[in-house]
Protein backbone atom coordinates (compact mmCIF):
# COMPACT_ATOMS: atom_id res chain seq x y z
CA UNK A 1 0.00 0.00 0.00
CA UNK A 2 1.24 3.54 -0.68
CA UNK A 3 2.88 5.14 2.33
CA UNK A 4 3.54 1.84 4.10
CA UNK A 5 6.96 1.17 2.67
CA UNK A 6 10.25 1.99 4.42
CA UNK A 7 11.88 5.37 4.02
CA UNK A 8 13.94 5.72 0.87
CA UNK A 9 11.94 3.07 -1.04
CA UNK A 10 14.99 0.78 -1.48
CA UNK A 11 14.26 -2.94 -2.04
CA UNK A 12 17.16 -4.00 0.16
CA UNK A 13 16.10 -1.74 3.00
CA UNK A 14 12.61 -3.25 2.96
CA UNK A 15 13.95 -6.53 4.31
CA UNK A 16 15.48 -4.81 7.33
CA UNK A 17 12.71 -2.27 7.99
CA UNK A 18 11.09 -3.12 11.33
CA UNK A 19 10.09 0.13 13.07
CA UNK A 20 8.24 -1.68 15.88
CA UNK A 21 11.05 -4.26 16.38
CA UNK A 22 8.67 -7.14 15.88
CA UNK A 23 11.37 -9.40 14.41
CA UNK A 24 14.00 -8.60 17.01
CA UNK A 25 17.66 -7.90 16.40
CA UNK A 26 19.11 -9.55 13.29
CA UNK A 27 21.02 -12.73 14.04
CA UNK A 28 24.45 -13.21 12.53
CA UNK A 29 26.33 -16.39 11.76
CA UNK A 30 23.35 -18.36 10.46
CA UNK A 31 25.36 -19.87 7.61
CA UNK A 32 28.17 -20.89 9.96
CA UNK A 33 25.72 -22.54 12.35
CA UNK A 34 24.09 -24.46 9.53
CA UNK A 35 27.47 -25.63 8.25
CA UNK A 36 28.47 -26.71 11.75
CA UNK A 37 25.22 -28.63 12.19
CA UNK A 38 25.77 -30.44 8.90
CA UNK A 39 29.35 -31.24 9.89
CA UNK A 40 28.15 -32.66 13.20
CA UNK A 41 25.66 -34.85 11.36
CA UNK A 42 28.45 -36.11 9.11
CA UNK A 43 30.66 -36.78 12.14
CA UNK A 44 27.89 -38.77 13.80
CA UNK A 45 27.35 -40.80 10.64
CA UNK A 46 31.09 -41.42 10.39
CA UNK A 47 31.29 -42.49 14.04
CA UNK A 48 28.36 -44.85 13.52
CA UNK A 49 30.03 -46.33 10.43
CA UNK A 50 33.31 -46.82 12.32
CA UNK A 51 31.48 -48.49 15.21
CA UNK A 52 29.62 -50.79 12.81
CA UNK A 53 32.90 -51.71 11.11
CA UNK A 54 34.52 -52.53 14.46
CA UNK A 55 31.54 -54.69 15.39
CA UNK A 56 31.80 -56.56 12.08
CA UNK A 57 35.51 -57.15 12.57
CA UNK A 58 34.90 -58.35 16.12
CA UNK A 59 32.23 -60.78 14.93
CA UNK A 60 34.55 -62.11 12.24
CA UNK A 61 37.31 -62.64 14.81
CA UNK A 62 34.96 -64.48 17.18
CA UNK A 63 33.64 -66.61 14.33
CA UNK A 64 37.15 -67.48 13.18
CA UNK A 65 38.17 -68.48 16.68
CA UNK A 66 35.05 -70.55 17.26
CA UNK A 67 35.67 -72.53 14.09
CA UNK A 68 39.10 -73.70 15.29
CA UNK A 69 39.68 -76.40 17.88
CA UNK A 70 43.14 -76.94 19.38
CA UNK A 71 44.37 -80.56 19.16
CA UNK A 72 45.81 -82.55 22.04
CA UNK A 73 48.76 -84.20 20.30
CA UNK A 74 51.91 -82.03 20.77
CA UNK A 75 53.07 -82.09 17.14
CA UNK A 76 49.60 -81.17 15.92
CA UNK A 77 49.37 -78.42 18.53
CA UNK A 78 52.67 -76.98 17.26
CA UNK A 79 51.26 -76.79 13.74
CA UNK A 80 48.08 -75.28 15.18
CA UNK A 81 50.09 -72.41 16.66
CA UNK A 82 52.12 -71.96 13.50
CA UNK A 83 48.93 -71.54 11.49
CA UNK A 84 47.28 -69.10 13.92
CA UNK A 85 46.82 -65.46 13.00
CA UNK A 86 49.05 -62.97 14.78
CA UNK A 87 46.13 -61.23 16.51
CA UNK A 88 44.90 -64.59 17.84
CA UNK A 89 48.15 -65.74 19.40
CA UNK A 90 47.50 -64.30 22.85
CA UNK A 91 43.99 -65.76 22.86
CA UNK A 92 45.21 -69.15 21.68
CA UNK A 93 47.97 -69.31 24.30
CA UNK A 94 45.45 -68.48 27.04
CA UNK A 95 42.99 -71.06 25.70
CA UNK A 96 45.64 -73.75 25.27
CA UNK A 97 47.51 -73.02 28.51
CA UNK A 98 46.47 -76.37 30.10
CA UNK A 99 48.00 -78.14 27.09
CA UNK A 100 51.34 -76.33 27.41
CA UNK A 101 52.74 -78.88 29.84
CA UNK A 102 56.35 -79.93 30.37
CA UNK A 103 55.57 -82.91 28.14
CA UNK A 104 54.55 -80.55 25.34
CA UNK A 105 57.73 -78.50 25.61
CA UNK A 106 59.76 -81.71 25.72
CA UNK A 107 58.10 -82.84 22.50
CA UNK A 108 58.74 -79.42 20.96
CA UNK A 109 62.39 -79.62 21.98
CA UNK A 110 62.58 -83.04 20.34
CA UNK A 111 61.15 -81.58 17.13
CA UNK A 112 63.71 -78.76 17.25
CA UNK A 113 66.55 -81.23 17.88
CA UNK A 114 65.46 -83.45 15.02
CA UNK A 115 65.18 -80.50 12.66
CA UNK A 116 68.58 -79.20 13.72
CA UNK A 117 70.17 -82.62 13.23
CA UNK A 118 68.57 -83.15 9.83
CA UNK A 119 69.21 -79.62 8.55
CA UNK A 120 71.87 -79.90 5.84
CA UNK A 121 74.50 -77.23 5.44
CA UNK A 122 74.16 -75.41 2.14
CA UNK A 123 77.96 -75.14 1.89
CA UNK A 124 78.25 -78.94 1.78
CA UNK A 125 75.84 -79.36 -1.10
CA UNK A 126 78.05 -80.25 -4.07
CA UNK A 127 75.58 -81.81 -6.51
CA UNK A 128 75.25 -80.13 -9.88
CA UNK A 129 72.36 -78.96 -11.97
CA UNK A 130 68.79 -79.58 -10.86
CA UNK A 131 69.90 -81.84 -8.01
CA UNK A 132 71.95 -78.98 -6.55
CA UNK A 133 69.02 -76.59 -6.78
CA UNK A 134 66.69 -79.09 -5.13
CA UNK A 135 69.17 -79.74 -2.34
CA UNK A 136 69.69 -76.02 -1.74
CA UNK A 137 65.92 -75.45 -1.61
CA UNK A 138 65.50 -78.32 0.83
CA UNK A 139 68.31 -76.97 3.00
CA UNK A 140 66.77 -73.48 3.05
CA UNK A 141 63.35 -74.90 3.90
CA UNK A 142 64.81 -76.96 6.74
CA UNK A 143 66.65 -73.96 8.17
CA UNK A 144 63.49 -71.85 7.99
CA UNK A 145 61.53 -74.57 9.76
CA UNK A 146 64.16 -74.74 12.50
CA UNK A 147 64.04 -70.96 12.99
CA UNK A 148 60.24 -71.09 13.19
CA UNK A 149 60.23 -73.80 15.84
CA UNK A 150 62.87 -72.08 17.97
CA UNK A 151 61.02 -68.75 17.81
CA UNK A 152 57.71 -70.43 18.63
CA UNK A 153 59.18 -72.21 21.65
CA UNK A 154 60.59 -68.99 23.08
CA UNK A 155 57.29 -67.17 22.59
CA UNK A 156 55.14 -69.94 24.08
CA UNK A 157 57.36 -70.21 27.14
CA UNK A 158 57.18 -66.46 27.84
CA UNK A 159 53.47 -66.22 27.06
CA UNK A 160 52.57 -69.19 29.27
CA UNK A 161 54.47 -67.62 32.17
CA UNK A 162 52.61 -64.34 31.61
CA UNK A 163 49.26 -66.14 31.62
CA UNK A 164 50.07 -67.89 34.89
CA UNK A 165 51.06 -64.63 36.57
CA UNK A 166 47.99 -62.82 35.23
CA UNK A 167 45.71 -65.55 36.61
CA UNK A 168 47.45 -65.35 39.98
CA UNK A 169 47.10 -61.57 39.98
CA UNK A 170 43.38 -61.79 39.23
CA UNK A 171 42.87 -64.30 42.02
CA UNK A 172 44.57 -62.04 44.52
CA UNK A 173 42.53 -59.08 43.21
CA UNK A 174 39.33 -60.91 44.16
CA UNK A 175 40.60 -61.44 47.68
CA UNK A 176 41.69 -57.82 47.98
CA UNK A 177 38.36 -56.54 46.71
CA UNK A 178 36.49 -58.74 49.18
CA UNK A 179 38.69 -57.47 51.98
CA UNK A 180 38.06 -53.85 50.98
CA UNK A 181 34.30 -54.08 50.51
CA UNK A 182 33.71 -56.00 53.73
CA UNK A 183 35.91 -53.79 55.89
CA UNK A 184 33.95 -51.73 58.48
CA UNK A 185 36.35 -48.79 57.98
CA UNK A 186 36.85 -48.34 54.24
CA UNK A 187 39.12 -45.31 54.56
CA UNK A 188 41.52 -47.05 56.95
CA UNK A 189 41.53 -50.18 54.80
CA UNK A 190 42.33 -48.16 51.65
CA UNK A 191 45.28 -46.52 53.40
CA UNK A 192 46.48 -49.90 54.66
CA UNK A 193 46.22 -51.44 51.20
CA UNK A 194 47.96 -48.43 49.64
CA UNK A 195 50.89 -48.83 52.02
CA UNK A 196 51.15 -52.48 50.96
CA UNK A 197 50.92 -51.57 47.23
CA UNK A 198 47.74 -53.61 46.89
CA UNK A 199 45.71 -51.03 44.94
CA UNK A 200 46.54 -51.74 41.31
CA UNK A 201 44.92 -51.95 37.89
CA UNK A 202 43.51 -55.50 38.30
CA UNK A 203 41.71 -54.40 41.46
CA UNK A 204 40.27 -51.32 39.72
CA UNK A 205 39.17 -53.41 36.74
CA UNK A 206 37.47 -55.91 39.03
CA UNK A 207 35.65 -53.14 40.88
CA UNK A 208 34.47 -51.68 37.58
CA UNK A 209 33.19 -55.08 36.46
CA UNK A 210 31.16 -55.37 39.63
CA UNK A 211 29.84 -51.83 39.19
CA UNK A 212 28.71 -52.63 35.66
CA UNK A 213 27.18 -55.89 36.85
CA UNK A 214 25.26 -54.13 39.62
CA UNK A 215 23.89 -51.56 37.17
CA UNK A 216 22.88 -54.28 34.73
CA UNK A 217 21.18 -56.18 37.56
CA UNK A 218 19.23 -53.02 38.54
CA UNK A 219 21.07 -52.57 41.83
CA UNK A 220 21.76 -48.80 41.87
CA UNK A 221 22.60 -48.67 45.59
CA UNK A 222 25.29 -51.34 45.30
CA UNK A 223 26.68 -49.68 42.17
CA UNK A 224 26.80 -46.27 43.84
CA UNK A 225 28.50 -47.75 46.91
CA UNK A 226 31.22 -49.45 44.86
CA UNK A 227 31.70 -46.34 42.73
CA UNK A 228 32.48 -44.35 45.89
CA UNK A 229 34.92 -47.02 47.05
CA UNK A 230 36.56 -47.12 43.62
CA UNK A 231 36.88 -43.32 43.50
CA UNK A 232 38.51 -43.25 46.92
CA UNK A 233 40.88 -46.11 46.13
CA UNK A 234 41.85 -44.75 42.71
CA UNK A 235 43.75 -41.91 44.42
CA UNK A 236 46.33 -44.49 45.49
CA UNK A 237 46.35 -46.46 42.21
CA UNK A 238 49.72 -47.93 41.23
CA UNK A 239 50.39 -47.02 37.61
CA UNK A 240 54.15 -46.43 37.45
CA UNK A 241 55.02 -50.14 37.67
CA UNK A 242 53.07 -53.40 37.45
CA UNK A 243 52.14 -55.30 40.54
CA UNK A 244 54.64 -57.75 41.95
CA UNK A 245 54.66 -60.98 39.98
CA UNK A 246 52.56 -59.62 37.09
CA UNK A 247 54.02 -59.86 33.60
CA UNK A 248 52.52 -58.51 30.42
CA UNK A 249 51.62 -60.97 27.69
CA UNK A 250 54.41 -60.71 25.09
CA UNK A 251 53.38 -59.74 21.59
CA UNK A 252 53.83 -62.27 18.84
CA UNK A 253 57.36 -61.85 17.43
CA UNK A 254 57.79 -60.33 14.00
CA UNK A 255 58.82 -63.73 12.67
CA UNK A 256 55.71 -65.48 13.94
CA UNK A 257 52.52 -65.66 11.87
CA UNK A 258 50.50 -62.82 10.41
CA UNK A 259 52.53 -62.57 7.21
CA UNK A 260 50.99 -60.48 4.47
CA UNK A 261 50.63 -61.39 0.84
CA UNK A 262 53.61 -59.25 -0.08
CA UNK A 263 55.98 -61.20 2.17
CA UNK A 264 57.74 -64.51 1.70
CA UNK A 265 56.05 -67.09 3.90
CA UNK A 266 56.52 -70.69 4.79
CA UNK A 267 53.79 -73.35 4.54
CA UNK A 268 53.12 -72.77 8.23
CA UNK A 269 52.34 -69.10 7.70
CA UNK A 270 55.51 -67.67 9.27
CA UNK A 271 57.56 -64.84 7.84
CA UNK A 272 60.71 -66.30 6.42
CA UNK A 273 64.14 -64.99 7.39
CA UNK A 274 65.21 -62.05 5.25
CA UNK A 275 61.66 -61.03 4.31
CA UNK A 276 60.10 -57.67 5.13
CA UNK A 277 59.20 -56.99 8.73
CA UNK A 278 55.67 -57.81 9.72
CA UNK A 279 53.17 -55.09 10.33
CA UNK A 280 52.21 -54.89 14.00
CA UNK A 281 49.06 -56.90 14.64
CA UNK A 282 45.91 -55.04 15.57
CA UNK A 283 45.48 -54.75 19.28
CA UNK A 284 42.65 -56.67 20.75
CA UNK A 285 40.35 -55.69 23.47
CA UNK A 286 41.90 -56.40 26.81
CA UNK A 287 38.97 -55.57 28.97
CA UNK A 288 37.14 -58.62 30.16
CA UNK A 289 33.51 -58.83 29.17
CA UNK A 290 31.04 -57.47 31.65
CA UNK A 291 29.45 -60.12 33.86
CA UNK A 292 25.97 -61.29 33.05
CA UNK A 293 23.24 -59.35 34.81
CA UNK A 294 21.79 -62.55 36.18
CA UNK A 295 25.07 -63.51 37.85
CA UNK A 296 25.98 -62.43 41.34
CA UNK A 297 28.70 -59.90 42.04
CA UNK A 298 32.32 -61.04 42.26
CA UNK A 299 32.99 -60.43 45.94
**Under 8 Å between Cβ of 263 and 187:** no
The pLDDT tens digits of the residues spanning 73-102 come to 999 999 999 999 888 998 999 999 999 999
299 Cβ neighbours under 8 A, 6+ residues apart = 177, 178, 181, 182, 210
- The reported pLDDT for the residue numbered 45 is 85
Position 232 scores a pLDDT of 92
Average pLDDT (111-115) is 90
* pLDDT(152) > 80: yes
The DSSP-derived string for the chain is -TT-SPTT--HHHHTT--TT-SS-SPPP-HHHHHHHHHHHHHHHHHHHHHHHHHHHHHHHHHHHHHT----SSHHHHHHHHHTS-GGGHHHHHHHTGGG--HHHHHHHHHHHHHHHHHPPPGGG----HHHHHHHHHHHHHHHHHHHHHHHHHHHHHHHHHHHHHHHHHHHHHHHHHHHHHT-S-HHHHHHHHHHTT---HHHHHHHHHHHHHHHHTT-HHHHHHHHHHHHHHGGG---SSPPTT--PPPPPPTTSS---TTS-B-TTSPBPTTSPPPPPPPPPP-SPPPPPTTSPP--
Q: What is the pLDDT of residue 119?
A: 57
Q: Summarize pLDDT for 52-61 with one digit per residue, the tens.
A: 888 888 888 8
9 pLDDT more than 90: no
Is the per-residue pLDDT at 3 higher than 90? no
In 10 A of CB 145, how many CB atoms? 20
Write down the pLDDT at residue 139: 76
Indicate the average pLDDT of the chain. Answer: 75
pLDDT, mean of residues 144-170? 89
pLDDT at 7: 54
Higher pLDDT, 284 or 231: 231
Per-residue model confidence (pLDDT) at position 156: 94
pLDDT digits 0-9 by tens, 252-283: 766 665 443 333 333 333 333 333 333 333 33
Higher pLDDT, 195 or 242: 195
**The pLDDT value given to residue 172:** 84
d(CA 8, CA 62): 75
Which residue, 262, 289, 294, is CA-closest to 278? 262
Residue 287 pLDDT grade (very low, low, confident, very high; cuts 50, 70, 90): very low
pLDDT, tens digit, 9 for 90 and up, residues 196-240: 888 988 889 889 999 988 998 899 999 999 999 999 999 998 764
Q: Among 74-78, 169-173, 179-183, 192-196, whose mean pLDDT is lowest?
A: 169-173
List the single range of 123-132, 173-182, 221-230, 248-257 with lowest mean pLDDT.
123-132
Amino acid sequence: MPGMGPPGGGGGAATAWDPENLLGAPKEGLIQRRMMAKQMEKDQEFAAAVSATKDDIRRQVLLRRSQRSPPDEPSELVEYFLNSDAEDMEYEVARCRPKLTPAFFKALDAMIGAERFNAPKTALVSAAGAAAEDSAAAAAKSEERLAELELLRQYLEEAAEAVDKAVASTSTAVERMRKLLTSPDKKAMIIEMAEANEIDVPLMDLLQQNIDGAKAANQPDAAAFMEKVKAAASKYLITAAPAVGVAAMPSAPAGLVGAGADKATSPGGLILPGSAAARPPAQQQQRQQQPDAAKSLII
